[in-house]
Amino acid sequence: MNKKILLLIGLIVLTLVGKVSAVQVCPPTTFNIQNEYYRFSTCFNFSVIQVNTTEITFNTTVFNITSTNQINITFYALANYTLINFISNTTSPGTVWFNITGLQTSTNYTILVNNTYNTTNTTTSRGNLSFELSHGAGNRNIYIRASTTQVRITAKKPVTDVVTISDNVIKIVGIALIVGALLVIVIALQKAGHI
């Protein structure tokens, strides 16, 4: 009988994990990678968020940003590979290298800085877009769009509250949710007289 219950619990856990289709991040959530701090102006829903030592992935879009100084990135738009809008803020003047992958392949992307044309770059056959920016201290409104996209977004004031969440915290919360669900199932089975 105990093997059947464990099998049932295992199947339920697999079902629950398989149905997790979105992770929502809202202000003041912050992801920290080296001297980069990624924030959100409003709540965003993602199917995947992956953080490692050099880059962060939201769904299939990967951000690998390198700065000579601390840099804060506050997202305002991440729309289906065609539109990215964020405020970047550095503590001192320096150079920032942006490497974004997972975009449309072999597509021209227009890059605006503070609503002024900066450059147009073409993504590689793997959807990689790279550019560098001499970044003064303070805010820069970075607006990246596929050249066929006709949308304009004006960014607002960046989020200043900081709460850092590591990938370990996200894993712990996920495990705690699964354990809680298992406890509810075991209690229900006990009340029903199956255990």
Ordered by start, the domain boundaries in the chain are 23-169
Whole-angstrom distance, CA of residue 77 vs CA of residue 101? 16
- 3 state SS of 148: coil
Q: Is the peptide bond before 158 cis (omega within 30 degrees of 0)?
A: no
102: CB partners within 8 A, 6+ apart = 57, 59, 60, 61, 62, 81, 127
What confidence tier does 85 reach under pLDDT thresholds 50, 70, 90?
Answer: very high
Residue 49 half-sphere exposure, CB side, CA atoms within 13 Å? Answer: 20
pLDDT at 75: 96
Residue 128 tokens read as 């990689």
Query: What distance in Å separates the CA atoms of residue 71 and residue 37, rounded to the nearest whole number?
Result: 6
Average pLDDT over residues 134-161: 69
**Out of 10-19, 33-42, 48-57, which region has the weakest mean confidence (pLDDT)?**
10-19
Mean pLDDT within 64-92: 90
> pTM (2 decimals)?
0.66
Burial class, 38, CB count within 10 angstroms (exposed 0-12 / middle 13-18 / buried 19+): buried
User: Does the pLDDT at position 18 exceed 70?
Assistant: no
Range of weakest confidence among 20-24, 123-127, 144-148, 172-176: 172-176
